[in-house]
Amino acid sequence: MNIEAKELCKIYGKGENRVAALNRVSLKIVPGDFISIIGPSGSGKSTLLHLLSGLDRPTSGHLTYDGKDIYSLTDQELSAFRRQRIGFIFQQFNLLPVLTARENIIMPLLLDRKQPDDAYVEQLSQMLGIQDRITHLPHELSGGQQQRVAIARALAAKPDVIFADEPTGNLDSRSGGEVMEMLKAVREQMGKTLVIITHDNRIAAMADRQLSIVDGTLTEVAARGKTTICWR
Ligand code: ADP
Ligand code: MG
């Protein structure tokens, strides 16, 4: 999918509490892109990812997926669009504690009353190395295993694009490295578009396009195989 964000602004609160979290952010994402967005804490990274993935709406600005205006959808239509077309990976995994790994993975399909594709779920579990943990509850899994279950869940509905918000932020460096290798494999073997947020330079450098965000302003700092593009 071609994703295009135009002049996204996000202001939280009013009066003394007013925070301008994003300042006229424009970005084009083409199929197969691997993008990293690096920035310090509070710079607007999560806000941007939530807007790009339709988890939240901007104060002003537009977002299209293949030319379709996403923010003109109702909340219900937007939730369905997200479940079917977009995968999201959170820093805190966000697994449901009372469900097994497998139940967590297929949850997005059940919400859409779709029959899970057993062979595909099996393929995902093998690829992510969680096939022998599939009947375990989240608290019986390590952090790295929980995040791998969350990656499988993000892929369950076969979305074209995956957004990951500091996916290794809660992991030790070894499990974090494993999770990054798996995300790279997901992109290379399955051809998914991957947009990953990080404050780790080494992770940012793995991407083909590296963007940086400071005080809500986004800049493209490097694109692999191309000359450095900067705007603003
Ligand atoms: P990052 O993910 O880069 O740490 P965020 O996007 O979470 O940054 O936040 C950007 C700015 O917006 C911060 O100043 C933060 O305090 C503020 N902010 C984020 N979410 C809210 C909210 N729901 N209400 C008010 N301010 C918020
Ligand atoms: Mg954040």
Q: How far apart are the first and last CA of the chain?
A: 26
Give the ligand 1 atom nearest the CA of 213.
Answer: 3
Domain assignment of residue 202, yes or no: yes
Give the ligand 1 atom nearest the CA of 197.
Answer: 2
Q: For ligand 1, say whether the CB of 17 is within 6 Å of any of its atoms.
A: no
Joined tokens for residue 105: 């993975």
∠ Cα 105 108 110 (to 5°): 95
Structural domain containing residue 181: 31-59+74-223
Q: Where are the alpha helices (DSSP H) in 33-127?
A: 45-52, 75-85, 101-111, 118-127
Q: Is the dihedral of CA 10, 229, 181, 41 positive or negative?
A: negative
- What CATH number does the domain containing 115 carry? 3.40.50.300
Number of domains in the chain: 1
> pLDDT tens, position by position, for the chain (232 residues)?
999 999 999 999 999 999 999 999 999 999 999 999 999 999 999 999 999 999 999 999 999 999 999 999 999 999 999 999 999 999 999 999 999 999 999 999 998 899 999 999 999 999 999 999 999 999 999 999 999 999 999 999 999 999 999 999 999 999 999 999 999 999 999 999 999 999 889 899 999 999 999 999 999 998 775 444 444 3
Residue 166 Cα to ligand 2 midpoint, Å, equals 7
Domain assignment of residue 45, yes or no: yes
Domain assignment of residue 188, yes or no: yes
Domain assignment of residue 201, yes or no: yes
Domain assignment of residue 190, yes or no: yes
